[in-house]
Amino acid sequence: MNAIIDCEHEYGAHNYDPLPVVLTRGEGVYVWDDAGNRYIDMMSAYSAVSHGHCHPKLVNALIEQAKKLVIVSRSFYTDTLGLFLKTICEHTRQDCALPMNTGVEAVETALKAARKWAYTIKGVPQDKAEIIACKGNFHGRTISVLGMSTEPQYRNGFGPFPAGFKIIPYGDAAQLESAITPNTAAFIVEPIQGENGIIVPPAGYLKACADICQKNNVLLICDEIQTGLGRTGKFLACDHEGIAPDGLILGKALGGGLLPVSLFLARKDVMDVFTPGDHGSTFGGNELAAVVGLAAVNVLIEENLTARAAESGADLLQKLKQLKSPIIADIRGKGLLIGIEINPRYYSARALCLKLLKKGILSKETHGTVIRLAPPLMISSEQINTVVSAISQVLTEAEQEMQGTVNKA
């Protein structure tokens, strides 16, 4: 038993089921537990730590700003926010950005913008706007966003949910075209579905969706909270198909692994539907967040982390696909966002994550069947080899256990 785990279990809400390890510090791709054991972090906090743990440039930026000014709210101008917004807009080819804190807050902002744009610009009758989302999506867990979810556990016990959402299959552009009506305001989509098991759509899917949306005067909003900022080997995952969405949602890595920082970005006519008092956040765009967010973008560029993600991701994917085991049902991904789908008939993904934990590799299953691999973007070839070797070992151990069970039977 561990007193720290016991304390959190007693006094904390049981809305998570963590692996049994207590982490106390981190550096780069590594974290250490309370017993001094070192692990390679293959989760990077769901892409929030893409720059690595405690990156010195980001930590220094945070410390220096914290000594000067941290928050005065958006009731006043500051000398930090404008440059941050300008820089990220230039890198994403968007006109304007609205800062928030968590990813789901940025999603809520996008939904509000899309609806008001539909009423004030497109001419949709009041309270009739529709937003299309995909089956298997994960855009967050607020009540309104759960209205788009198709995951029973996320929804069970939390209804009723707001109306105005329409759900279509993921990866099928023809389904989008069929679902659009004169009241459709927007289509919100993840370029790769992360929480659903690292689901990569067919090549050309996003481009086809962009064309359909443009033809029908529907906003295409890409949720790149997990896939953006270099994760998939491009600055944005939608860059793989050369599209510029009408709206873009960023978060996680935007805070450099230090703070919650998120943005809704859009073209000017979409963002201009907001007037003073329509929407806001006391902490959104605070001085500390703006400085860290700017540093996070700059470090991503200066250290060429996007290209490193593309190269390391291809290396990791190739080596994983060389593993031969009946336990593996599929291996898929792009850049350093990779999922190993485990055949539930043979073994549990969580049980494999627990075995990896014992070998110094941190990962976490999603949907009970997929091991998610999304390390900090600076992971080295040697570290990748260590991870693949550990995965190979735990697969062998699991197969031996399966064989032992069969023999006993």
Q: Per residue in 231-257, pLDDT tens? A: 999 999 999 999 999 999 999 999 999
Tokens of 115: 């609806």
* Model pLDDT, residue 1: 74
Name 205's Cβ contacts closer than 8 Å, sequence gap at least 6.
171, 172, 173, 241
CATH homologous superfamily for 304-346+354-367+374-408? Aspartate Aminotransferase, domain 1 (3.90.1150.10)
What integer pLDDT is reported at residue 405 of this predicted model? 63
Cα gap 320→331, rounded to integer Å? 7
What b/e string do you get for 61-97 counting C-beta neighbours within 10 Å, with b at 16 or more?
bbeebeeeeeeeebeeebebbeebbebbbeebebebb
Q: What is the pLDDT of residue 402?
A: 84
Per-residue pLDDT, 408: 56
Predicted TM-score (pTM) of the model is 0.96
Our answer to whether residue 223 is catalytic in this structure is: yes
138 counts as catalytic: yes
165 among known catalytic residues: no
The per-residue pLDDT for 333 is 97
Give the model's pLDDT for residue 406.
Answer: 52
Structure confidence by residue, pLDDT tens digits, 151-188 = 999 999 999 999 999 999 999 999 999 999 999 999 99
Among 223, 234, 239, 274, which one carries the catalytic annotation? 223
pLDDT value for 291:
98
Correct CATH for 56-302 of 3.40.50.2000, 1.10.1060.10, 3.40.640.10, 3.40.630.30: 3.40.640.10
Q: Which two tokens stand for residue 403?
A: 């064989």
- Separation between Cα atoms, residue 370 and residue 150, nearest integer Å: 18
Active-site option among 41, 84, 116, 138: 138
Residue reference for tokens 């996008």: 110
Q: What does the domain layout of the chain look like in residue ranges?
A: 56-302, 304-346+354-367+374-408
Q: What is the pLDDT of residues 99-127, one digit of tens each?
A: 999 999 999 999 999 999 999 999 999 99
Asked if the model's pLDDT at residue 49 lies above 90, the reply is yes
pLDDT of residue 403: 79
| Reported confidence tier of residue 367, pLDDT bands at 50, 70, 90 | confident
Catalytic residue among 252, 334, 355, 364: 252
Work out the mean pLDDT of the chain and round it to a whole number: 96
Q: What is the pLDDT of residues 348-362, one digit of tens each?
A: 999 999 999 999 999
* Helix (H), strand (E) counts: the chain: 14, 15
